[in-house]
Amino acid sequence: MKKTSFADYRKIVGDFKDAGVLVIGDLILDEFLWGEVSRISPEAPVPVVWVKTESFMPGGASNVANNLRSLGAKVSLAGVIGDDEHGTILKGELERSGVNVNGVITDGSRPTTLKTRVVAHHQQVVRIDKERVVTLNDRIMSKISSYVKDNIKDLDAIIIEDYGKGVITPKLLSRIIPLAKSGKKIIAVDPKEEHFRYYRGVSVITPNNHEASKAVGFDITDTPTLKKAGTRLLNRLNCSIALITLGEKGMAVFQRGRPMKHIPTVAQEVYDVSGAGDTVIAAYTLSLASGADPVQAAHISNCAAGIVVGKVGIAVVTPEELIERIKAETES
């Protein structure tokens, strides 16, 4: 097989701007409270954090949309927010990033999922989650599936982001997956480990080592168990590609009828792995939609992940950063 040149990779990344991707899933607002600790509370043996600044970032499926937009894609998002201040903030952050939020539905019966991280001296002190985990009602589910049906012709790919908050259900997927398959669209899934049975017939699944182990029923501890797990995922889900991320060991690509391809990690320094999985599925799916083969897409997404873990906090990657990292890797 001909080795992929830097020029080939540069063309793929250059085509990101022409790809249309819809992200469907659980929308989360990430709140960060930044401060300092100078004493221990007299009420309990816990630090007192003096909060100096506050910031918000799109999380969950919203972070995948944000990653796609940062990479240059035309991005739309479908999911649910609450009729509250945090929903307004999340929607505003996404609109400022250039994400199309016409598929975001407001549901007054549930709050916007909020994850608050208290950070002092660059260390996370505590995380506080506010959410209501409940399956979507039929009215909202129909709105989301109708949005997909109305816009499918303009898409190259759909990413399913399942954080187990109630948006991704077998009923919703039974409407969306046939629509995407009939239009020959890429369907990529970032799975929830308890929900693997939901995803039969998708194009790509991107579990991490732990999620893949849970799905196949045995621990992935070495190359033979990794190969066995990848093959089992392909067969069980009847999907074309399984991309298993392996943390500091990189990632492994599985395709039907082909040997496993291991992609070593390219991270030089790791500061924060928050959101790295979101970057991987965004870059991988966008690469496939832009003409990359499954192994080329893995190299690109591996480079993207290597960049994002070198940044503090939930971060995104630009095409310029990505091209620079790919150049360093292909010419080294």
pLDDT higher than threshold 90 for residue 165: yes
38: in domain: no
pLDDT higher than threshold 70 for residue 76: yes
Q: Report the CATH number at residue 275.
A: 3.40.1190.20
Is 8 labeled as catalytic in the residue annotation? no
Strands in the chain per DSSP E: 20-25, 27-40, 47-60, 74-82, 100-107, 113-120, 123-130, 157-161, 186-190, 204-205, 241-245, 251-255, 261-263
283: in domain: yes
Residues 6 or more apart whose CB falls under 8 angstroms from that of 36 comprise 49, 50, 52, 120, 121
Quick check: 28 and 115 in contact, CB under 8 A? yes
119: in domain: no
What pLDDT was estimated at residue 99? 97
249: in domain: yes
pLDDT higher than threshold 80 for residue 272: no
What pLDDT was estimated at residue 4? 85
How many domains does the structure of the chain reveal? 1
pLDDT higher than threshold 60 for residue 188: yes
Task: Provide, rounded to the nearest whole percent, the portion of the chain with pLDDT above 90.
Answer: 83
181: in domain: yes
pLDDT tens, residue by residue, 117-128: 999 988 889 999
Closest CA to 160 of 108, 105, 122, 206: 206
DSSP 234-248: HHHHT-SEEEEE-GG
222: in domain: yes
Quick check: 164 and 192 in contact, CB under 8 A? yes
Indicate whether this model's pTM tops 0.85: yes
CA 318 – CA 297 distance, rounded (Å): 16
CA 81 – CA 28 distance, rounded (Å): 8
What pLDDT was estimated at residue 271? 44
35: in domain: no
The pair of three-digit structure tokens given for residue 290, joined into one six-digit string? 């832009």
What pLDDT was estimated at residue 275? 66
CA 308 – CA 327 distance, rounded (Å): 17
Structural domain for 300, as ranges: 6-28+59-112+132-330
Q: How confident is the model at residue 314 (pLDDT cuts 50, 70, 90)?
A: low
Catalytic residue among 129, 150, 278, 293: 278
217: in domain: yes
What pLDDT was estimated at residue 52? 96
pLDDT tens, residue by residue, 2-20: 688 999 999 999 999 999 9
